[in-house]
């Protein structure tokens, strides 16, 4: 999984300006076509992996909720047994409760961990889709730019970058080159913002999970304390 995500991160971190400049230098969009093929291939694989992981997340959540509900019911039953003086049954039920609470906690932690990975995969999928949309759009513009330059006898194979093409002195060519540059800058900014939002979301989930674990530990202490007092009274 790590190597797979590394491949996608490599695609996302690719410098689109450099990609376009390489296409200009080669006077061909082949390098952009290869990027698109790799991105589409990895996007399909990412969607398949996300679907599988999403199913696992739902299963773990369901298991957690089942054991948590069972533990809650058993906890009430133990109160009833203690009040009726059924100490042996209460002790056995308490042991079962401890087991269910532990299983519930285990499922909870697994669910949270897998869900963080799932959310990261969904976010990565959106970013890769956005990259694909951008590169496809700019591929079409670049073809138009090359054809326009050729029609006006501007040798694109001697032009090393969009910056150079934008300064050839032709208003139409310069305008189209500037549009491509602006779009690439916007896409880079969007990716930067998305990366920042993802980091904040993951941090919030981690902090929230820690609070839940602290509350669970507090609940267990209260249960143990309550059990000790009941034992002393009996």
Most confident of 120-134, 158-172, 189-203, 218-232: 120-134
Q: Is the pTM of this model over 0.75?
A: no
HSE, side-chain direction, 13 A CA sphere, residue 81: 17
**What is the per-residue pLDDT for 81?**
87
60, two tokens: 């773990």
Nearest partner of 161 among 144, 137, 145, judged by Cα: 145
Tens of pLDDT, residue by residue over 96-122, are 989 999 999 999 999 999 999 999 889
Q: Sign of torsion, CA 160 163 167 168?
A: positive
Q: Domains in the chain and their CATH numbers? A: 2-233 (1.20.1260)
**What is the per-residue pLDDT for 85?**
86
Per-residue confidence at 160, pLDDT binned at 50, 70, 90? low
165, two tokens: 């093409």
Chain centroid, CA 181 distance in Å: 28
């Amino acid at each position: 999984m790590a190597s797979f995500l590394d491949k996608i991160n490599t695609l996302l971190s690719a410098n689109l300006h450099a990609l376009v400049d390489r296409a200009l230098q080669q006077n061909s969009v082949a390098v952009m076509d290869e990027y698109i093929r790799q991105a589409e291939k990895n996007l399909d694989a990412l969607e398949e992996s996300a679907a599988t992981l999403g199913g696992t997340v739902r299963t773990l959540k369901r298991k957690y909720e089942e054991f948590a509900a069972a533990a809650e019911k058993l906890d009430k039953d133990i109160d009833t047994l203690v009040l009726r003086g059924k100490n042996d049954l209460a002790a056995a039920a308490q042991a079962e409760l401890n087991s269910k609470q532990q299983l519930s906690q285990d499922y909870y932690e697994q669910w949270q961990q897998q869900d963080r990975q799932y959310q990261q995969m969904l976010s990565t999928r959106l970013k890769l889709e956005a990259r694909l949309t951008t590169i496809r759009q700019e591929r079409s513009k670049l073809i138009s730019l090359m054809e326009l330059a050729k029609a006006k006898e501007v040798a694109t194979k001697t032009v090393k970058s969009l910056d150079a093409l934008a300064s050839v002195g032709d208003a139409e060519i310069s305008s189209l080159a500037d549009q491509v540059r602006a779009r690439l800058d916007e896409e880079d900014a969007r990716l930067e913002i998305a990366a920042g939002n993802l980091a904040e979301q993951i941090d919030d989930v981690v902090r929230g999970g820690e609070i839940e674990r602290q509350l669970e530990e507090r609940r267990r202490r209260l249960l143990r304390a309550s059990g000790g007092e009941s034992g002393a009274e009996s």
